[in-house]
């Protein structure tokens, strides 16, 4: 039987002016809404206790398995308000599919994809007043963070027999507070975020934990993100800590590393590949060498490089930095990068026709 994540009748919300104040300049992932969706899974009883409930701390025992063995997965998607006031999700079915794949890799129970979508629709509808207007630069939204954790008080190493699923929500503005400017990226060849046979294709907290040291070192070198090379040869471009990467060729191809199991299959990546022909661009998925990328930037073969993900949408990469120095792509955002970025935002905010059928109406 499918889950309903039904909201009780007696919910209360923050005063409208308090919500409006938070909507004025929302920072990424700082403030949370009044409610959350949740469900419990047990080995004996399957999924149950699904509901929308007031937002608040979880009851986590210090022996809870997730705290020790990181059996955890998550997702990230946004609810967008269109000019007519309606609220929409962007391809929640893709997040549902990926969440199921992540669950399998982490030996967590699979939440049926339709139940995942229901949970997102329900919480987004409950929290509709928390979905901001797009705003002047058209980038405000309500970020949804579904996650699943091992929720069993047991220190033995085994897949948990009790699991918690929840969706929390946070009003967000542009991910990089400075607006759309080109970022410096540290090209990391030593620390790896994942390796063949590992969890790179799953969206799990452990991948992020593994990426933080390189991220810290990148900050110290004046870079804002890390581009990881493959863990075996350190010769192939993979992705950033939380974003996929594209290189634009002078012949209007957009090249992104092919999914090999060590790269997270981004919904934004998939959508950009899907809409490329609409913009007269040729989508290409193939292995991309680190040296090929650097040489191609210098020779003009790759006039633009950008990163993409739900949180930061499309972010132009201004330069790549490594031990041997800085390779500059462009000081500002390139034309193709901006065309893709604007097209994606136009679809998400309902400013152009959704020809691919990617939007799902909440209310």
Residues that bind ligand PLP (CB under 6 A): 76, 203, 207, 239, 242-244, 264, 266-269, 309-310
Q: Which is nearer to ligand PLP, 174 or 266 (CB)?
A: 266
Whole-angstrom distance, CA of residue 148 vs CA of residue 163 = 7
Whole-angstrom distance, CA of residue 180 vs CA of residue 112 = 37
The DSSP string of 226-276 is EEEEPTTTS-BEEEESS-EEEEE-TTSEEEEEPP-SSS---HHHHHHHHHG
- Shortest Å, Cβ 258 to ligand PLP: 15
DSSP secondary structure letter of residue 142: E
Q: Which is nearer to ligand PLP, 102 or 126 (CB)?
A: 102
- Shortest Å, Cβ 139 to ligand PLP: 15
Strand duo 183-188 + 313-322: pairing: parallel
Strand partners, 141: 172
Nearest-CA neighbor of 33 among 147, 95, 126? Answer: 126
Query: Strand, helix or coil at 285?
Result: strand
Residue pair 350/80 in contact (Cβ under 8 Å)? The answer is yes
Q: Which is nearer to ligand PLP, 52 or 245 (CB)?
A: 245
- Shortest Å, Cβ 194 to ligand PLP: 9
- Shortest Å, Cβ 62 to ligand PLP: 28
- Shortest Å, Cβ 59 to ligand PLP: 27
Q: Please list, residue by residue across 299-310, b when 16 or more beta carbons sit within 10 angstroms of its beta carbon and e when fewer do.
A: eeebbbbbbbbb
Name the strand (E) or helix (H) holding 212.
Answer: helix 205-220
- Shortest Å, Cβ 334 to ligand PLP: 20
Residue with tokens 């308090």: 18
Q: Which is nearer to ligand PLP, 146 or 266 (CB)?
A: 266
Q: Which is nearer to ligand PLP, 207 or 319 (CB)?
A: 207
Strand duo 72-74 + 141-150: pairing: antiparallel
What are the tokens at 11? 């919910």
- Shortest Å, Cβ 272 to ligand PLP: 9
Q: Which is nearer to ligand PLP, 64 or 315 (CB)?
A: 315
Whole-angstrom distance, CA of residue 78 vs CA of residue 140 = 10
Nearest-CA neighbor of 346 among 358, 331, 332? Answer: 358
Q: Which is nearer to ligand PLP, 300 or 357 (CB)?
A: 357
DSSP secondary structure letter of residue 329: -
- Shortest Å, Cβ 94 to ligand PLP: 7
- Shortest Å, Cβ 55 to ligand PLP: 23
What are the tokens at 245? 């990467």
For residue 241, the number of C-alpha atoms closer than 13 Å in the C-beta half-sphere is 23
Q: Which is nearer to ligand PLP, 132 or 242 (CB)?
A: 242
The vertex-338 CA angle with 289 and 323, nearest 5°, equals 35
Q: Which is nearer to ligand PLP, 261 or 303 (CB)?
A: 261
């Amino acid at each position: 039987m499918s889950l309903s994540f039904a909201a009780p009748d007696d919910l209360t919300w923050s005063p409208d002016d308090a919500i409006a104040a938070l909507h004025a300049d929302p920072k990424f992932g700082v403030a949370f809404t009044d409610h959350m969706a949740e469900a419990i899974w047990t080995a004996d009883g399957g999924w149950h206790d699904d509901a929308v409930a007031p937002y608040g701390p979880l009851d986590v025992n210090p022996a809870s398995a997730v705290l020790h063995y990181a059996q955890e997965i998550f997702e990230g998607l946004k609810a967008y308000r269109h000019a007519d006031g309606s609220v929409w999700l962007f391809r929640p079915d893709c997040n549902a599919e990926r969440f199921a794949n992540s669950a399998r890799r982490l030996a967590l129970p699979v939440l049926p994809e339709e139940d995942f979508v229901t949970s997102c629709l329900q919480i987004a509808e409950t929290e509709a007043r928390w979905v901001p207007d797009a705003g002047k630069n058209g980038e405000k939204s309500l970020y949804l963070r579904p996650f699943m954790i091992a929720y069993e008080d047991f220190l033995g190493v085994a897949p948990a027999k009790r699991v918690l699923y929840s969706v929390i929500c946070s009003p967000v503005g542009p991910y990089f507070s400075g607006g759309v400017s080109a970022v410096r990226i540290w090209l990391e060849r030593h620390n790896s975020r994942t390796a063949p046979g590992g969890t790179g294709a799953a969206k799990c907290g452990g991948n992020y934990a593994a990426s933080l040291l390189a991220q810290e070192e990148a900050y110290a070198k004046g870079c804002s993100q890390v581009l990881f090379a493959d863990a075996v040869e350190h010769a192939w471009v993979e992705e950033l800590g939380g974003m996929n990467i594209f290189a634009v060729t002078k012949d209007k191809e957009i090249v992104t590393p092919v999914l090999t199991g060590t790269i997270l299959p981004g919904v934004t990546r998939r959508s950009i590949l899907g809409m490329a022909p609409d913009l007269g661009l040729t989508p290409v998925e193939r292995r991309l060498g680190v040296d090929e990328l650097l040489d191609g930037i210098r020779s003009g073969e790759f006039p633009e490089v950008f990163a993409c993900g739900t949180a930061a949408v499309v972010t132009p990469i201004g330069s790549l930095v490594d031990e041997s120095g800085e390779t500059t792509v462009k000081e500002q955002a390139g034309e193709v990068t901006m065309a893709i970025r604007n097209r994606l935002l136009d679809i998400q905010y309902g400013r152009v026709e959704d020809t691919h059928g990617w939007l799902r109406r909440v209310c």
